[in-house]
């Protein structure tokens, strides 16, 4: 028998933990989509930083989790992706969104963490870039600049991302790099650690491999929260 999901509530600390990809009795987004964002993360952000009727934009919309959470919370959601997964996701590049300046109330991003997953065959997909390639951070920087363009003044954005570790190429602190890039355009509000419940973390072979290689399996994601403050 499956254990019931815990009550969904606003997280009060900078360590977020929820042992399920989805909240409630339903599903937000698609559980079979690789790299799907935990919906409780988006729920917490929208509950804290938006109000009913606000326009929320997700430039890396994936399987549509953000759109489903927006519907639950009575927010207006628009999702974009180079390879739309379903009909209510619009085709667009996160670096060039079809939105007017200062028209959005909240931006949420869960971009590729390197080239470890194949998201699409589109030649412009950031997921084709390895985190050790400067082009990867250049692409993310362009996405952050575009978020700053479309976001209203005194509104918030958040980036959900993980660091990179590969035996041959080493460690890349993606979260640290991204916060530095975001601070070009936004005021930092907080840095949250979100526990990962990836089943591969429990696989004995992977855990033994990390010990033998003297490396670490990625046990958390960064959640970087920022605010646009013109002249501030």
* Reported confidence tier of residue 114, pLDDT bands at 50, 70, 90: confident
The range of the structural domain enclosing residue 191 comes to 15-227
Query: Percentage of residues in the chain with pLDDT exceeding 90?
Result: 70
Has residue 22 been placed in a domain? Answer: yes
Domain at 84, CATH number: 3.40.50.150
Q: Are 173 and 222 in contact (CB under 8 A)?
A: no
**Beta strands per DSSP E along 67-163:** 76-81, 89-91, 104-109, 151-161
Has residue 1 been placed in a domain? Answer: no
How many domains are contained in the chain?
1
Q: How far apart are the first and last CA of the chain?
A: 53
Model confidence pLDDT, tens digit, residues 159-212: 999 999 887 888 999 999 999 999 999 999 999 999 988 666 666 777 777 777
Q: Is the dihedral of CA 96, 99, 100, 105 positive or negative?
A: negative
Has residue 8 been placed in a domain? Answer: no
* DSSP helix/strand/coil, 215: coil
Has residue 9 been placed in a domain? Answer: no
Nearest to 147 by CA among 117, 104, 178, 211: 104
Has residue 200 been placed in a domain? Answer: yes
* DSSP helix/strand/coil, 11: coil
* DSSP helix/strand/coil, 163: coil
The predicted model scores a pTM of: 0.92
Has residue 2 been placed in a domain? Answer: no
Model confidence pLDDT, tens digit, residues 27-79: 999 988 888 899 999 999 999 999 999 999 999 999 999 999 999 999 999 99
Q: Are 92 and 84 in contact (CB under 8 A)?
A: no
Q: At what angle do helices 134-150 and 174-182 cross, to 10 degrees?
A: 40
Q: At what angle do helices 65-72 and 39-49 cross, to 10 degrees?
A: 50
Has residue 70 been placed in a domain? Answer: yes
Has residue 7 been placed in a domain? Answer: no
CA angle 145, 85, 151 (to 5 degrees): 25
Structure tokens at 156: 């918030």
CA angle 70, 193, 95 (to 5 degrees): 55
């Amino acid at each position: 028998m499956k254990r019931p999901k815990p009550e969904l509530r606003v997280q009060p600390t900078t360590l977020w933990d929820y042992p399920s990809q989805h909240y409630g009795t339903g599903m937000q987004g698609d559980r079979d989509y690789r790299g799907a964002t935990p919906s409780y993360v988006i729920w917490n952000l929208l509950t804290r930083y938006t109000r009913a009727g606000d326009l929320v934009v997700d430039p890396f919309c994936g399987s549509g989790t953000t759109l489903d959470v927006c519907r639950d919370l009575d927010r207006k959601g628009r999702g974009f992706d180079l390879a739309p997964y379903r009909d209510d996701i619009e085709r667009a590049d996160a670096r060039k969104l079809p939105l007017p300046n200062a028209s959005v109330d909240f931006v949420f991003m869960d971009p590729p963490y390197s080239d470890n997953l194949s998201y699409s065959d589109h030649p412009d997909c950031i997921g084709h870039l390895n985190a050790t390639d400067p082009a990867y951070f250049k692409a993310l920087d362009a996405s952050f600049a575009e978020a700053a363009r479309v976001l209203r003044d005194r509104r918030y954005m958040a980036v959900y991302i993980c660091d990179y570790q590969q035996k041959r190429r080493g460690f890349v602190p993606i979260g640290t790099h991204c916060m530095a890039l975001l601070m070009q355009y936004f005021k930092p509000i907080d840095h949250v650690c979100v526990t990962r419940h990836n089943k591969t973390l429990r696989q004995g072979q992977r855990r033994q491999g990390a010990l033998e290689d003297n490396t670490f399996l990625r046990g958390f994601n960064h959640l970087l929260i920022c605010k646009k403050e013109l002249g501030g």
